[in-house]
């Protein structure tokens, strides 16, 4: 097995000796890595891509640490930005048809084109007429239509929103 030797100061790999087991390596590291010194080196069975030392233990940096410590802002997702060395998450509003995250102003915006909006409005009109026909049938046979009326009201609200943008 490969043992990864890290320099404590730089957390760079300085050696990759091969041993039968990690325990065997730990029992006498100088056999496998002659420059070994406990104050200067750490050993691991894992090769870390982005190592960090925490309480004397080496581990992989978290996504948040990569963003905040290494300034890897490309790892930020839509709805996230950095403020006061913290990652702030802004939830996208439900009312947006096509959500677009504006990285400059840190706000969610409508991302749909006018053509896409008109297509969706026409689709909602078709759904509304189907709901209206279903409501008439249900009334004719004595069924409760509250659920259908709620869907119709939501449909109207969604159309009105889309037509206002």
46-74 residue pLDDT tens: 999 999 999 989 999 999 999 999 999 99
> Mean per-residue pLDDT for 95-112?
93
Q: What is the DSSP letter of 73?
A: G
* Dihedral angle computed from the Cα positions of residues 75, 77, 80 and 81, in that order, rounded to the nearest 10 degrees: 30
Rounded to two decimals, the pTM is 0.71
Binned at pLDDT 50, 70 and 90, residue 165 comes out as confident
* pLDDT tens column, 73-94: 999 999 999 999 999 999 999 8
Adjacent-strand bridge partners of 110:
99
Residue 105 in tokens: 């102003």
Between CA 138 and CA 136 the distance in angstroms is 6
What CA–CA distances, in Å, run from 20 to 26, 27, 40, 44? 11, 12, 23, 14
Between CA 152 and CA 62 the distance in angstroms is 46
pLDDT at 94: 86
Binned at pLDDT 50, 70 and 90, residue 43 comes out as very high
pLDDT at 51: 97
* pLDDT tens column, 128-161: 999 999 999 999 999 999 999 999 999 999 999 8
60 three-state secondary structure: strand
């Amino acid at each position: 097995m490969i043992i990864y030797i890290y320099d404590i100061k730089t957390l760079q790999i300085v050696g990759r000796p091969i041993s039968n087991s990690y325990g065997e390596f730990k029992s006498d590291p100088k056999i496998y890595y002659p420059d070994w010194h406990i104050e200067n080196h750490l050993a691991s069975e894992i090769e870390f891509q982005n190592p960090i030392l925490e309480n004397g233990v080496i581990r992989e940096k978290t996504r948040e640490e990569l963003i905040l410590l290494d300034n890897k802002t490309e790892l930020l997702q839509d709805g996230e930005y950095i403020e006061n060395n913290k990652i702030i998450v802004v939830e996208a509003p439900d009312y947006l048809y096509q959500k677009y995250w504006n990285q400059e102003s840190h706000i969610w915006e409508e991302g749909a084109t006018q053509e896409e909006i008109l297509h969706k409005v026409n689709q909602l009109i078709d759904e509304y007429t189907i709901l209206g026909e279903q409501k008439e049938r249900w009334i004719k046979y004595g069924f409760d239509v509250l659920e259908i009326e709620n869907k119709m009201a939501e449909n109207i609200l969604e159309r009105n929103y889309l037509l206002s943008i």
